Amino acid sequence: MQKENEGQWVVEKVDKAGTIKPGVYNIHLAAQADKANTYDGVVMHSDKDYVYQRVGKGYIKHDCSSFDKTPGNGSDVSIKYNGNTAIISASSIKQGRGLSR
C-alpha cells in the first residue's frame, strides 16, 4: 500500500495477498456494486470504506458496511446481496486457458 506524502509516493505497508500478483491496479476506476447482481472474482484490496474486487477485466467496490466480516485480500470469492447484506461464498468461476489437446 502506498500513499502520497508531500508530492512523493511512500510505501506504507506490504502484505501477502494470496493470488494477487505484484503490479499497479487501477481500483480507483471501480464501479459501485449493484445489489441485484452476483460478483465472482478476486478481492484486490479493502479499506475502512470499501472492498474492491476484480471482476473480469474491471473492478467493483462493495461497501464495507454490507459485510459481517470482510473477505481477505487475494481471496477468490462470489459476492451476492440479500437486501443490504453481502453474502460471501467460494467463487464458482475458475480462470484458466480452457484449451487442451
Domain range list for the chain? 2-90
Nearest CA-CA partner of 93 in 55, 53, 46, 52: 55
CATH number assigned to the domain covering 2-90 = 2.40.50.140
Grid coordinates of 14: 506490504
At 74-86, the pLDDT tens digits run 899 999 999 999 9
DSSP 40-71: EEEEEEE-SSEEEEEETTEEEEEEGGG-SSPP
At 13-41, the pLDDT tens digits run 666 666 777 777 889 999 999 999 999 99
Direct distance between the N- and C-terminal alpha carbons of the chain, in angstroms, rounded to an integer:
41
pTM of the model: 0.75
